[in-house]
């Protein structure tokens, strides 16, 4: 059993039949996890999507993921959902000014914009601000 504490950002896709179930509550109570909702779109009688940051022991995180699969909630790592087309990016910096968490940073030496996926909370502000449409969010 591992006592190492980890943080994981995941996207939960809820089928219609589960949107009224206390899934996140179970993650807290049964698997001793802390959570932060980064984004949510859940409507009764429709499919739902929740982006969570989960904190807890590695063993508990693994057990929680098994529970989610058994219940029918599809999961995927958040980092796979944020994409920048580097060929389209002009490094104009528009994304830097709108990002609330500092996921973009200007490299002073190269004058290029670095994108740090691990900081991204999928707020989608960069999508709207990007003139060449180099940013994509895929769920």
Q: Do 62 and 99 reside in the same domain of the chain?
A: no
**CATH number of the domain to which 111 belongs:** 3.30.70.20
Taken as a whole, the chain contains a residue count of 139
Residue 46 DSSP code: S
pLDDT band at 139 (very low <50, low <70, confident <90, very high): low
3-class DSSP assignment, residue 103: coil
Pairing outcome for strands 5-14 and 34-41:
unpaired
For residue 44, with 0-12 CB atoms within 10 Å meaning exposed, 13-18 middle and 19 or more buried, which class applies? exposed
Q: What is the number of helices (H) and of strands (E) in the chain?
A: 4, 8
On the question of pLDDT at 1 being above 70, the answer is no
For 47, the domain range is: 5-80
Q: Which of 35, 51, 80 is the last residue of a domain?
A: 80
pLDDT band at 101 (very low <50, low <70, confident <90, very high): confident
pLDDT band at 50 (very low <50, low <70, confident <90, very high): confident
Q: Do 129 and 107 reside in the same domain of the chain?
A: yes
pTM of this structure: 0.59
pLDDT given at position 68: 93
């Amino acid at each position: 059993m591992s006592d190492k504490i980890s943080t994981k950002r995941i996207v939960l896709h809820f089928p219609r039949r589960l949107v009224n179930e206390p899934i996140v509550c179970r993650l807290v109570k049964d698997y001793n996890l802390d959570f932060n909702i980064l984004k949510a779109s859940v409507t009764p009688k429709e499919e739902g999507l929740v982006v969570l940051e989960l904190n807890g022991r590695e063993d508990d995180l693994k057990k929680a993921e098994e529970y989610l699969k058994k219940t029918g909630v599809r999961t995927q790592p958040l980092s796979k959902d944020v994409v920048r087309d580097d060929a389209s990016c002009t490094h104009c910096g528009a994304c830097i000014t709108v990002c609330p968490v500092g996921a973009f940073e200007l490299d002073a030496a190269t004058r290029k914009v670095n994108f740090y996926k691990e900081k991204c909370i999928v707020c989608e502000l960069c999508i709207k601000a990007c003139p060449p449409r180099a940013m994509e969010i895929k769920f």
